[in-house]
Amino acid sequence: MNNIRKNRDLHVTGTLVWYYYICPREVWLMGRQITPDEDDSNVELGRFIHEYRYGRDKKEINLGNIKLDIMRRDGKEIVIGEIKKSSHFIESAKMQLAFYLKELKQRGIEARGELFFPEEKRKERVDLTTELEEELNKVERDILRIIYADLPPAPEKNKWCRRCAYTEFCWS
């Protein structure tokens, strides 16, 4: 049994779901709490956008292993939102938000989701469907398989590498 299993109970988070759709190596690194370059300009820009947009909404709601960017009511409906700097990662953002909706549903809270892209002045609605739930179940199992592995997956160049805050870790 490897040390990670002995030292702590690992669980899937929305951030790990996000990274799963971008790079499995990032999943392993984040799952091991190896943080990216905090001075990376993309990390700083994302932090700035998150902090200064949507000021009227409740932000940074922590519920167990999920951290919601925005939570508000729209009439009788609960809306949770995820703020992203661009829609370039829309698939990973959609799955991250669907993961949060699934976690809330498991706690008896029905909600709908919205992805916010403030720099593009757009938003996109996300509803939890049966198909998304089934995909998330598979993704969660695969994420756990990745982070319990003794070694990270080998680095593989993809279109996101040039903007990645882990570049030095993978390509030095």
The pLDDT of residue 153: 93
What end-to-end distance do the CA atoms of the chain give, in Å?
30
Tokens of 52: 């200064």
Mean pLDDT of 31-53: 59
pTM metric for this prediction: 0.81
The pLDDT of residue 8: 56
- Work out the angle at residue 164's Cα, subtended by the Cα atoms of residues 162 and 41, and round it to the nearest 5 degrees: 95
How would residue 37 be classed by pLDDT, with cut points 50, 70 and 90? Answer: low
How far apart (Å, rounded) are the C-alpha atoms in residues 13 and 41? 24
Burial code (b: 16+ CB inside 10 Å, e: under 16) for 63-78 equals: eeebebbbbeeeeeee
* β-sheet bridge partners, residue 80: 71, 113
Summarize pLDDT for 85-106 with one digit per residue, the tens.
889 889 999 999 999 999 999 9
How far apart (Å, rounded) are the C-alpha atoms in residues 158 and 2? 29
Summarize pLDDT for 44-71 with one digit per residue, the tens.
544 444 455 545 444 567 777 788 888 8
Mean pLDDT of 116-138: 95
The pLDDT of residue 70: 86
Q: Are 36 and 159 in contact (CB under 8 A)?
A: no
How would residue 34 be classed by pLDDT, with cut points 50, 70 and 90? Answer: confident
User: Does residue 113 surpass a pLDDT of 50?
Assistant: yes
How far apart (Å, rounded) are the C-alpha atoms in residues 92 and 119? 18
User: Does residue 6 surpass a pLDDT of 90?
Assistant: no
The pLDDT of residue 53: 53
Q: Where are the domains of the chain?
A: 3-171
- Mean pLDDT (the chain) is 83
CATH architecture designation of domain 3-171: Alpha-Beta Complex (3.90)
